[in-house]
């Protein structure tokens, strides 16, 4: 029994707090946290002592200190962590969407640490409007008369509907009543905004006459919504922005468009799928266009509204605008991103999102070949790692059918039987690294698309794999056929 401790052997809290071994924990985390952690640890030790399963060695001051330091470090570790996005989806909503260019990062840093003219007019010395910081840029880039910004595009749609269609009707095609994910559904937003949805047409076909017949005395606007994450193909018909705008204007109504991702440049010049730009949408007659800041635009999370000056004025007067307004960090990040669009020649290099989207397959392939070996070694002999071509997706409301030729690593389990459990295990190991590596499992393989691993990150990526995955030889479990299938 000499190896086991009794509850009475557990040292007193006060004594431990004064022990030299605990000094570092107190210094680093402060007394409040150290005492709380120590108390929890001693309680746990007591439970185990009472159960007769506490090795005496765990009562040594050094052992207690190690446990406390570990617990305190875990609790103090950042929750929001950097990860490697190897999912193949560039604008991945769950991984934070667009990555900001250096100019935006510098601007945010400045705004965080120095006072700024957020709502101060430097010309007059009087009060300013935070929208003034970016509305001229947005107007220049979109051809709109006026602009404003809120927290995200969902907020932009909500605000637009409430400001322009409260207790009135909004005509939308059935084919455009989309759910974007994360509980953004056009009919729900409409209801919350106080507007009444009038659905026209069918899921696959809507005609100009459908809009026309739905207009009545209570109609506030005709609205179009970008189908973002799905495609209606086959026997389809939708009415263009220009046609909807013409119908609306003939009855003295505004035509509005929720563009979703919303791009400011013609993406085909970069070899990307075609999307109507905000400028084209405005030019086609839309009176108001809403779009996201952190999708194709490549900026911070934000919702941008551009369009007719009288409508923007009305929107800015709505009390919801105040509730949905952006903070200075958003504006600080957005301005340099919009500035980049003023020099489209450099955009594909300087705008991180576009740089990632346009990385050619021939640049990614050698990278996959370089990394194949280190991953194979890290994964262990039970897995086969191949450098293979694959397709990336733009993500965040660009059509899932538009795919970008890419390259990456496909990992398969060599054993017989269903590989699911083995792939899950490897996926978990990668996800538990200090900088988690996020891939995706499909078709009995773990796929790591290297599109979003830029050259400057490759060395760190390799080093982490080499270090952290140098696991002891595979546990015998991987080789045992008798195990139950997952």
Ligand X SMILES: *Cc1c(COP(=O)(O)O)cnc(C)c1O
Token duo for residue 336: 């340099």
Of 153 and 393, nearer to ligand X (C-beta) is: 153
In whole angstroms, what is the distance from residue 91 CA to residue 356 CA? Answer: 10
In whole angstroms, what is the distance from residue 439 CA to residue 452 CA? Answer: 11
In whole angstroms, what is the distance from residue 322 CA to residue 154 CA? Answer: 15
Rounded to a whole number of angstroms, the minimum distance from the CB of residue 261 to ligand X is 6
Q: Which DSSP string do the residues of 52-100 spell out, in sequence order?
A: T--BGGGGSHHHHHHHHHHHHHHHHS-SS---EE-SSEEE-GGGTSPPP
Does residue 226 bind ligand X (CB under 6 A)? yes
Do the beta carbons of residue 139 and residue 145 sit within 8 Å? yes
Of 261 and 281, nearer to ligand X (C-beta) is: 261
Of 56 and 174, nearer to ligand X (C-beta) is: 174
Rounded to a whole number of angstroms, the minimum distance from the CB of residue 38 to ligand X is 44
Of 201 and 419, nearer to ligand X (C-beta) is: 201
Task: Identify residues 114-153 at the interface with ligand X (CB under 6 A).
Answer: 152-153
Helix (H, G, I), strand (E, B) or coil at 32: helix
Of 293 and 380, nearer to ligand X (C-beta) is: 293
In whole angstroms, what is the distance from residue 417 CA to residue 279 CA? Answer: 55
Rounded to a whole number of angstroms, the minimum distance from the CB of residue 406 to ligand X is 23
Rounded to a whole number of angstroms, the minimum distance from the CB of residue 264 to ligand X is 15
| Number of residues engaging ligand X in binding (CB under 6 A) | 15
**Among 169, 199, 258, 275, which residue interacts with ligand X (rule: CB under 6 A)?**
258
User: Using CB under 6 A as the criterion, what x/- string covers residues 159-188 for binding ligand X?
Assistant: ---------------------x---x----
Q: Which alpha helices (H) appear in 77-172, and where do they start and end?
A: 102-113, 132-142, 153-165
Phi and psi at residue 445, to the nearest 5°: -145, 155
**Among 104, 160, 225, 411, which residue interacts with ligand X (rule: CB under 6 A)?**
225
How do 89-91 and 383-395 pair as beta strands? parallel
**Among 303, 307, 336, 408, which residue interacts with ligand X (rule: CB under 6 A)?**
303
Q: Which stretch binds ligand X (CB under 6 A): 26-34, 100-108, 116-124, 258-266?
A: 258-266
**Among 89, 292, 353, 393, which residue interacts with ligand X (rule: CB under 6 A)?**
292
Residue with tokens 């006459």: 209
Of 260 and 408, nearer to ligand X (C-beta) is: 260
Strand order in the sheet with 89-91: 89-91, 383-395, 403-413, 445-449, 440-442
Could you tell me which residues are beta bridge partners of residue 84? 437
Return the residue nearest ligand X (CB atom): 260
Rounded to a whole number of angstroms, the minimum distance from the CB of residue 334 to ligand X is 13
Phi and psi at residue 459, to the nearest 5°: -65, -45
Task: Identify residues 379-418 at the interface with ligand X (CB under 6 A).
Answer: 397
Of 292 and 365, nearer to ligand X (C-beta) is: 292
- Which residues are near ligand X by CB under 6 A? 152-154, 157, 180, 184, 225-226, 228, 258, 260-261, 292, 303, 397
């Amino acid at each position: 029994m000499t190896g086991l401790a009794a509850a009475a052997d557990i040292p007193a809290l006060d004594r431990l707090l004064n022990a030299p071994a605990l000094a570092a924990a107190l210094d680093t985390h402060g007394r409040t946290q150290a005492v709380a952690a120590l108390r929890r640890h001693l309680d746990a030790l007591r439970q185990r002592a009472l159960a007769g399963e506490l090795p005496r060695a765990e009562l040594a001051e050094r052992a207690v200190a190690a446990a406390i330091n570990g617990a305190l470090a875990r609790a103090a570790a950042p929750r929001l962590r950097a990860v490697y996005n190897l999912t193949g989806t560039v604008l991945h909503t769950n991984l934070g969407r667009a990555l900001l260019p250096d100019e935006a990062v510098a601007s945010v840093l400045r705004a965080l640490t120095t006072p700024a003219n957020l709502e101060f007019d430097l010309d007059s010395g009087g009060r300013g409007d935070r929208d003034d910081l970016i509305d001229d840029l947005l107007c220049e880039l979109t051809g709109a008369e006026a602009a404003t910004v809120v927290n995200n595009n969902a907020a932009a749609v909500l605000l637009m509907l409430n400001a322009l269609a409260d207790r009135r009707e909004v005509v939308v095609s059935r084919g455009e009543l989309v759910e974007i994910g994360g509980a953004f559904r056009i009919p729900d937003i409409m209801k919350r905004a106080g507007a009444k949805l009038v659905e026209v047409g069918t899921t696959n076909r809507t005609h100009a006459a459908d809009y026309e017949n739905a207009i009545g005395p209570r109609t506030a606007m005709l609205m179009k919504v970008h189908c973002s994450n799905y495609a209606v193909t086959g026997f389809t018909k939708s009415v263009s922005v220009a046609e909807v705008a013409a119908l609306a204007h003939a009855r003295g109504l505004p035509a509005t468009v929720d563009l979703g991702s919303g791009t400011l440049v013609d993406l085909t010049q970069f070899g990307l799928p075609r999307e109507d730009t905000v400028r084209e949408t405005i030019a086609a007659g839309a009176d108001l266009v809403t779009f996201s800041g952190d999708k194709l635009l490549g900026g911070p999370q934000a919702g941008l509204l551009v369009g007719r000056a009288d409508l923007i004025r009305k929107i800015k007067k709505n009390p919801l605008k105040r509730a949905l307004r952006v903070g200075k960090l958003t504006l600080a990040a957005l301005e340099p991103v919009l500035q980049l669009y003023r020099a489209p020649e450099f955009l594909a290099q300087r705008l991180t999102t576009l740089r990632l989207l346009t990385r050619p397959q021939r640049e990614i392939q050698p990278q996959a070949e370089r990394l194949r070996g280190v991953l194979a070694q890290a994964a262990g002999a039970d897995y086969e790692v191949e450098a293979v071509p694959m397709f990336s997706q733009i993500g965040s409301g660009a059509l899932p059918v538009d795919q970008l030729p890419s390259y990456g690593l496909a990992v398969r389990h060599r054993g017989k039987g269903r590989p699911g459990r083995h792939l899950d295990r490897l996926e978990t190991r990668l996800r538990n690294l200090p900088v988690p590596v996020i891939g995706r499992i499909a078709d009995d393989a773990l796929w790591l698309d290297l599109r979003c691993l830029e050259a400057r990150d490759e060395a760190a990526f390799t080093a982490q794999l080499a270090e952290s995955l140098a696991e002891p030889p595979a546990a015998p479990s991987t080789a045992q056929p008798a195990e139950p299938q997952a």
